[in-house]
Amino acid sequence: MKSRFESKEYEFLEVESRETEDGKIVSIFLNNPSSRNSMTWKMGEEFADLIHSIKKEKVLPRAVIISGRNDVFCAGGDLNLLRSFSEKTFSQNRRDMRKFYGFFLSVRKLPVPVIAAVNGHAIGAGLSLTFGCDLRIFAEEGKYSFNFVRLGIHPGMGSSFLSPELLGKSLGGRLLLTGETFDGKFAKTCGLAVDSVPKTEVYTRAMELALSLSKAAPLALQELKKNLYSWKHLDSALKKEAESQARNFISDDFKETIKSILEKRDPKFTGK
């Protein structure tokens, strides 16, 4: 008999389950083929609903894998979604951004190990989602970047907290400030990724890791996850991010960002 989350159909997600001798491993695939798996409001609602459904299962999976369809992980925020923010007030954006972060970062509250199988490019909020997972496998040839400042906005989706938490203030700050692009080999070298393999092997390697984790005592892992992370500190960072992004969304610089994307050119920021 299928569980509730396996029986439900989603527009922007696909769910697969694998039964092992030790228990179930659940795989979640971002699937927005029209825009490189970019994050929409609807995808966020579906993602949060799915995570909630998994948490409510009587028998929890031993591990969860998050990956992407369409030969990419996630291109970040959807352009139409970003345009909508430029048309809202500061108060509306502060409220909506905090809610939007919560949709995807709900993954951090799963009581079981979560592996990001980063099978291709992960940009902006898409990369932030991988930082919110417990373990990461990166595609060697993938391109990864916190490009927020290059779009005229403060980093969001918890990246201002998660990046320094995982990489230290020096390297984490560097990636946020410069918006530089790095590959999977760099991710492994700096300790961000458990492994870096060709993109065709990413999901297989993530499943190997999930099978290994499934051998551990589930109650011990659940208690460990409670003690590894402080949601209180992340929540404080999210509130600050939402306020900063809300301020940026009503700036002339962000209007220039949207215009430059539509005109396929580099933006020219004025600091207004």
| Residue boundaries of the structural domains of the chain | 13-215, 218-263
Q: Do residues 51 and 106 touch, judged by C-beta distance below 8 A?
A: yes
- How much is the pLDDT for 1? 59
Count of other CB atoms within 10 angstroms of residue 16: 12
Name, in order, each residue with C-beta under 8 angstroms of 165's C-beta and a sequence gap of 6 or more.
172
Q: Which two tokens stand for residue 40?
A: 């929409």
Q: Per-residue pLDDT for the chain (272 aa), expressed as one digit of tens each?
A: 567 777 788 999 999 999 999 999 999 999 999 999 999 999 999 999 999 999 999 999 999 999 999 999 999 999 999 999 999 999 999 999 999 999 999 999 999 999 999 999 999 999 999 999 999 999 999 999 999 999 999 999 999 999 999 999 999 999 999 999 999 999 999 999 999 999 999 999 999 999 999 999 999 999 999 898 877 889 999 999 999 999 999 999 999 999 999 999 999 999 99
Q: Using an 8 Å Cβ cutoff, are 130 and 116 in contact?
A: yes
**0.85 exceeded by the pTM?**
yes
**Strands 23-30, 13-20: pairing kind:** antiparallel
Strands 122-123 and 13-20: unpaired
Q: How many CA atoms lie within 13 A of 183 on its CB side?
A: 7
Mark residue 271 as left, alpha or beta (left: phi above 0; alpha: psi -120 to 50; beta: remaining). left
Tell whether domain 13-215 is in CATH 3.90.226.10.
yes
| Beta partners for residue 145, in sequence order | 123
